[in-house]
Structure 1
Amino acid sequence: MVSAAIALAFLPFLLTLLLRYRHYLLLLYWAVLLGWLRDRLSGVPREQRAFQFLLAHAVPGDPRHVLQTFDRWSQQREHLSCVGPVKGRIVERLLAERAPLWLLELGTYCGYTTVLLAQGMPPGARLYTVEVNPEHAAVAEKVLRLAGIDEQRVQLVVGTPEAVIPRLRQQHRVPQVDFVFMAHWKSCYLRDLRLLESHQLLPAGATVLADNVLCPGAPHFLQYARSCGRFRCRLHRASLEYFDAIPDGIAELRYTGTA
């Protein structure tokens, strides 16, 4: 009797939690549990399943259509953690405004943002994209070729940002990077930003964009960017990719080079 009374007392609280966080529970089901189950049942990773969908539905050599097909997959089939169309338009606008010649992407994943950046780069620009997972890198390589993007414009480097960033200048002949897009592990954002600084890879005026700074969030990165005195920081608020009800944002950092 006492246990039942306690349970009834907590019921309104539990219902409130379920209502407040229902969108996050749906995200957990759609993006994690369902994908994990299908991976186990099919024996084929979701990234490879997404690429097979691209092969069947995307127009080869058309980067814009490849991105639209990616969006169809993530909206109708299975969730992929890509920047998505809403935040993608923010990236495209900033890329057009800055017209960078040296670009760096940390976290290639399946190549969605790589294609987005490559198709918006000015002539003569070069993009280096870093992916730690070899299987994801293999999918991204095929996505880039499907979109008609060759190795003269984009070089995919397999490795950790922590290992690749110190070698950019000497091994890859990258003098500095004008435009950086971060979409890898959020806990690594701050470390890798400081690596770029310590290796003097950011010229004055360089742009650093960091995705998902609100969901799942990168608070230490944001605190550093706002307080160190070397960046002008702006937050572009949007929704989480393919989940309009969950708030997210892209942090835009402009490097001043002065403390």
Structure 2
Amino acid sequence: MMETDMEKYILEHSSPEDEILSELNRKTYTSVLNPHMISGHIQGKLLEMLVSMIKPALVLEIGTYTGYSAISMARTLPAGAMLHTIEINDELEDMCREYIAKAGMENKIVLHMGDALKLMKKLNILFDLIFIDGDKRQYPEYYSLAFNMLNKKGYILVDNVLWGGKVTDPKQTDPMTLGIRRFNRMVKEDQRIEKIIIPLRDGLMLIRKT
């Protein structure tokens, strides 16, 4: 993984990466397809800090991948709090469970395997924080469901909302870009929330239910 001078500078001036997360990052890059999908150190630290500030009792993550972001958030959850995370790729289940256990987070993280849209409809839980990082084509549907699963004054975080700059290029009409554009437009027009896009990595949308 190549790092720019700016990324190196940011890393040098940020808290160091946890040893287990560093190992998980390396293993993801050496043994999993599309390793760039991992949250990584800087985004992981931001998620950890946001959870520390918000102090949610219940967190939902859509898109576990190899577990980096789930572990990052769970590490700083208040006592008694829980994180539910959903992953559709069953080939990643063993790796997720291995590192959740290595990080000592088995009592804080509940891993659900399957289609997020179907599982979200079955979860009869209200969450304080929901992190969306699943199938980009389904972002609008995730958001519609997530909003109704959110406690009053709850937060939604959404990854990849800038999508490598494709969202601003009208020539880009692939299904994932269209899904993200449609989601971004939904959020822009939603008067029930406050929102801001943070230009970190591929764009992180922070939404607060008012």
Q: TM-score, normalised by structure 2?
A: 0.78
Q: Name stretches of at least 5 consecutive residues in structure 1 with no aligned partner.
A: 1-25, 27-62, 240-247
SS of the residue corresponding to residue 229 of structure 1 reads: coil
Partner of 1:227: 189
Partner of 2:161: 213
Q: TM-score, normalised on structure 1?
A: 0.64
Aligned mate of 1:166, from 114, 121, 126: 121
Name the aligned partner's letter for residue 159 of structure 1.
Answer: G
Shift of 1:64: 2.1
Query: Structure 1 residue 93 and structure 2 residue 22: aligned?
Result: no
Partner of 1:136 in structure 2? 92
Question: Post-superposition shift, 1:120?
Answer: 1.5
Distance 1:93 1:145 in 2: 22
Look up the match of 1:238. 200
Q: Considering only CA atoms, is the larger Rg found in Structure 1 or Structure 2?
A: 1
Per the alignment, residue 5 of structure 1 pairs with none
The alignment status of 1:70 with 2:18, answered yes or no, reads no
Distance 2:193 2:87 in 1: 26
- The total of aligned residue pairs comes to 179
Amino acid at match of 2:109: V
Q: CA deviation at 1:66?
A: 1.2
Which among 92, 104, 112 is matched to residue 157 of structure 1?
Answer: 112
- Give the match's secondary structure for 1:204: strand
Give 5+ residue unaligned stretches, structure 2.
Answer: 3-16, 165-176
Specify whether residues 228 and 124 from structure 1 end up closer, same or farther in structure 2 by C-alpha distance, changes over 3 A only.
same
| CA shift digits 1:49-97 (9 cap, x unpaired) | xxxxxxxxxxxxxx92111223445678976111111222221221111
User: Which residue is 1:42 aligned to?
Assistant: none
- Identify the residue that residue 186 of structure 1 maps to in structure 2: 136
C-alpha distance in 1 between matches for 2:182 and 2:111: 28
How far apart in 1 are the matches of 2:27 and 2:42? 15
Rounded to whole Å, the distance in 1 between the matches of 2:198 and 2:79 is: 27
Aligned mates of 1:90, 1:117 — CA distance in 2: 9
d(CA) in 2 for partners of 1:70, 1:212: 21
Aligned partner of 1:145 among 101, 114, 127: 101
In 2: Cα distance, 1:182 partner to 1:84 partner: 16
Match of 1:201 among 129, 149, 154: 149
1:66–1:178: structure 2 CA closer, same or farther, 3 Å change rule?
Answer: same
Q: Which has the higher helix share?
A: 1
8 Å CA contact 1:87, 1:250 repeated in 2: no
| Residues 5-56 of structure 1 deviation map (CA, whole Å, 9 limit, x = unaligned) | xxxxxxxxxxxxxxxxxxxxx9xxxxxxxxxxxxxxxxxxxxxxxxxxxxxx
Determine the C-alpha separation between the residues in 2 that align with 1:117 and 1:93. Answer: 8
Q: Deviations over 1:221-259 (max 9, x none)?
A: 1111121211211111122xxxxxxxx211101112xxx
Question: Using the alignment, how far apart are the partners of 1:118 and 1:162 within structure 2?
Answer: 22
Contact 1:83-1:113 within 8 A present in 2 as well: yes
Q: Name the residue aligned to 2:6.
A: none
1:105 corresponds, among 61, 79, 90, to 61
The alpha carbon displacement at 1:123 in A equals 0.9
Query: Contact 1:83/1:112 (CA < 8 Å) preserved in 2?
Result: yes
1:87 and 1:191 map into 2 onto residues whose CA distance is 24
Matched-pair identity in %: 25
1:235 aligns to what SS in structure 2?
A: strand
- Quote the Cα distance in structure 2 between the aligned partners of 1:74 and 1:138: 13
Residue of structure 2 in register with 1:251 after alignment: 205
C-alpha displacement of 1:138: 2.3
Structure 2: distance between partners of 1:219 and 1:101: 31
